[in-house]
């Protein structure tokens, strides 16, 4: 597939990424607010969805005419405002949240070093360091290096740039790169299916994905691999489920492929709310954990009926000044990055 993403598929992808962000939020907050009613929210599986979707969208966005300069400019305008705001949020709440642990909140200790490593997006490169009060930030370190590696591959005339980027990223990040590349491959080689076949694949992918998640197939594969290769698996850290994640990525890609041929025209009836809600996806993912800790520990708000509205209001405010202002930041961050092709000649 080349050119513009079909409107129906674009709407479907926006709906999926918003729902995936909500799943991550519920995965992290449900044990805190409803400890007596546990539900298996598939937070890690939602990140796999993000990776496949990201690969697809970046492959679409990496137009040849952009060059490295334009590609880097667009990625920076998208990532930096939200990422840096999330790190500043960790700094701001540090004096207010105490040291009482919160599920999925990580160590309740502030560290400027951890903030700095994550600001440079090297906190998962050959190490495993989360920013204070925001462990979900780990996947953003992965995403940024996928952008860099892919950008070097597409725009640099010498593969040395790609190799160098891969070496800096480190093995842990590279283990999940194939999951991200599934999305790239889907964009490059999207087949056209008959409506009947697309419907069959769509239903099969949903059912297979739910079964895969329900039975924790990725976890089971990881545990079996730990028995066979205990030392090697000890170095994988957050990428330990890379085999299962790749299999789930294929299921997700099959679902997107089917959705492309079905065209999802029925979603046009609710296009406005889908577009609007999806414009907060990144904000939900990156801001929710430090805000959860602030509301729970700092404000002492422990009732779900009040907790969730306050959380959403905070996310809305932060999203309005970061993620939803991408055009503004694109203009503000206008810069003269070196063009890889020119600098290599």
In a domain, 342, yes or no: no
Residue 2, in any domain of the structure:
no
Helix ranges restricted to H, 109-267:
112-119, 138-155, 160-169, 171-175, 177-188, 195-214, 217-228, 230-234, 242-262
* pLDDT on residue 335: 57
Task: Report which secondary-structure segment, H or E, holds 31.
Answer: helix 7-33
Give the DSSP letter string of 44-103: HHHHHHHHHHHHHHHHHH--GGGHHHHHHHHHHHHHHHHHHHHHHHHHHHTTTS-S---T
pTM of the model: 0.94
Q: 237 in a domain, yes or no?
A: yes
Residue 53 included in any domain: yes
Instruction: Give a yes or no: residue 19 inside a domain.
Output: yes
- What Å distances lie between residue 272 and 223, 256, 269, 276, 327, CA to CA? 44, 21, 8, 6, 19
Residue 101 lies in a domain: yes
Tell me: the pLDDT tens digits for 7-46?
899 999 999 999 999 999 999 999 999 999 999 999 999 9
Q: Rg of the chain over CA atoms, in angstroms? A: 20
Number of structural domains, the chain?
1
Q: Which H/E stretch holds residue 7?
A: helix 7-33
Give the list of residues 6+ apart from residue 157 with CB closer than 8 angstroms, or none.
Answer: 340, 341, 344, 345
Tokens representing 213? 């998640």
Q: Is 138 among the domain residues?
A: yes
Collapsing DSSP to helix, strand or coil, 22 comes out as: helix
Contacts for 163 with CB less than 8 Å, ≥ 6 apart? none
Cα angle value 209/13/63 (rounded, 5°)? 120
Residue count of the chain, please give it. Answer: 345
d(CA 161, CA 22): 36
- Domain with 38 in it: 7-333
Give the per-residue pLDDT at 344: 44
- Tokens 């796999």 correspond to 48
Residues of the chain with pLDDT under 50: 1, 337, 342-345
Q: What is the pLDDT of residue 65?
A: 83
Q: How many other CB atoms are found less than 10 A from the CB of residue 81?
A: 22
| CA atoms of 326 and 191, how far apart (whole Å) | 32
Evaluate whether residue 42 is within a structural domain. Answer: yes
Tell me how far apart the alpha carbons of residues 158 and 173 are, in angstroms, rounded to a whole number.
22
Q: What is the pLDDT of residue 4?
A: 77
Sign of CA dihedral 84, 89, 92, 93: negative
Spatial neighbors of 20 by CB under 8 A, at least 6 apart, are 46, 47, 49, 50, 53, 281
Give CA angle at 108 (102, 112), nearest 5°. Answer: 140
The dihedral through the CA atoms of 161, 163, 167, 169 has a sign that is positive
pLDDT of residue 343: 45
């Amino acid at each position: 597939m080349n050119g513009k993403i079909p409107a129906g598929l674009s709407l479907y992808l926006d709906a999926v990424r918003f729902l995936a962000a909500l799943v991550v939020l519920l995965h992290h907050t449900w044990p805190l607010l409803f400890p007596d009613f546990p539900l298996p929210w598939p937070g890690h599986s939602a990140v796999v969805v993000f990776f496949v979707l990201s690969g697809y969208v970046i492959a679409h966005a990496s137009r040849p005419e952009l060059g490295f300069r334009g590609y880097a400019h667009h990625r920076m305008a998208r990532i930096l405002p939200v990422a840096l705001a999330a790190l500043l949020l960790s700094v701001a709440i540090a004096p207010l949240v105490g040291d009482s642990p919160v599920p999925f909140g990580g160590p309740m200790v502030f560290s400027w070093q951890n903030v700095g490593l994550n600001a440079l997006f090297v906190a998962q490169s050959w190490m495993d360091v989360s920013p204070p009060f925001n462990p979900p930030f780990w996947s953003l370190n992965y995403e940024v290096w996928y952008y860099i590696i892919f950008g070097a591959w597409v725009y640099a005339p010498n593969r040395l740039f790609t190799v160098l980027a891969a070496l800096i990223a480190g093995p842990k990040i590279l283990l999940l790169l194939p999951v991200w590349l599934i999305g790239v491959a889907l964009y490059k080689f999207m087949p056209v299916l008959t409506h009947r076949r697309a419907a069959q694949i769509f239903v099969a992918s949903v059912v297979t994905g739910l079964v895969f998640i329900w039975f924790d197939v990725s976890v089971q594969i990881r545990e079996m691999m730990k028995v066979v290769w205990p030392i090697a698996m000890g170095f994988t850290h957050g990428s330990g489920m890379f085999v299962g994640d790749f299999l789930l990525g294929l299921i997700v890609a099959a679902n997107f492929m089917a959705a492309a041929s079905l065209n999802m025209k029925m979603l046009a009836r609710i296009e406005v709310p889908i577009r609007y809600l999806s414009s907060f996806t990144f904000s939900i993912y990156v801001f929710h954990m430090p805000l959860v800790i602030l509301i729970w520990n700092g404000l002492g708000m422990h009732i779900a009926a009040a907790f969730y509205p306050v959380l959403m209001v905070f996310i809305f405010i932060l999203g309005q000044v970061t993620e939803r202002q991408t055009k503004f930041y694109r203009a503000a961050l206008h810069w003269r990055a070196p063009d890889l092709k020119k600098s290599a000649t």
